Amino acid sequence: MKLPDFRKMRSAMIDSQLRPSGIVEPNLVAAIKYVPREMYVPADLSSLAYLDEALEVVPGRSLPAPLTGCLMMSALEVMPKERALIVGGTTGYSASILARLCAHVTLVEDDATLVRRASSAISKTGVSNVSVVEGALAEGYAEGAPYDVLLIDGQIEGVPEALIAQVREGGRIAAVLAERGAAPSVSVGRVAGGHVGWTRLLEASAPLLKGFERPRVFEF
C-alpha cells in the first residue's frame, strides 16, 4: 500500500484552505508548513489530518479544523519575544506552531491522555520551548503569568475573569466565540482594564470547552 505523501498534503492544505482565507503572513505559513500535523492525531486518523474538519483525538475532545485553528493563530499576530498560553491545546499542534513564532508557549490540558500525547508529539518533532501542564482549562496557569497572548483552542461562550487576569494589559485572546444571538465565530479580543473587546472574524464551529460555558439565566 502506498503511504500518504504528507508533505504534499500539507502544501495543498496551505494553498487551498489557508491562503484563500487570508492566512498569508510568511512566518506563520512557514511554521505551518514545518509542523507535521499528522504527528498530532491518532495514527488511524493520520490520512485525514489535512482535511478541513475537526478530528476527535480522545472521546469528547477534538483538534480544531486546520482553517479554524490557523485563523485563531493568525489573529493573535504573535511576536518573537512574546510568551503564549494555550488552554485546551489537545495534542500540541497549535503549541508547536506558535513555538516557532514566539519565545515560549505554555499548554494547559485537563485530560491526562492528551497531556501525554502532547508531550510525546512535541518531543518527537523537536520542539523545545513548550511546557505542557495538566490542570483545569478555565484556570489557566497563573504561575507563568502574565502572558502576551492567550489561545483558547476551541469554542467558548465567555472567558473566566481568572483567565483574563493572566493576560497582560493590551494582550490578545483568540477563540471560537459563541455569543448570544450570533453564530459561533473565530474571534480575537484585546484585554483592557480586565475586560475583553472582541472582533469577530469568520463563522466557525468547534466543540464547547468545559469551563467556558455562559452562566445560565432562569426565566420565570
The DSSP letter of residue 194 is T
The strand pairing partners of 191, in sequence order, are 196
Lookup: cell for 72? 485563531
Going by C-alpha positions, the residue among 126, 86, 91 that lies closest to residue 108 is: 86
Domain parsing of the chain, residue ranges: 6-203
pLDDT value, residue 217: 46
143-184 pLDDT, tens digit each: 999 999 999 999 999 999 999 999 999 999 999 999 887 899
Model pLDDT, residue 220? 40
Q: Which residues contact 38 (CB under 8 A, 6 or more apart)?
A: 4, 6, 9, 46, 47, 49, 50
Domain 6-203, CATH homologous superfamily name and number: Vaccinia Virus protein VP39 (3.40.50.150)
Distance, in Å, from the CA atom of 120 to the CA atom of 128, rounded to the nearest integer, reads 12
The pLDDT score that the predictor gives to residue 219 is 44
Residue 110: pLDDT above 70? yes
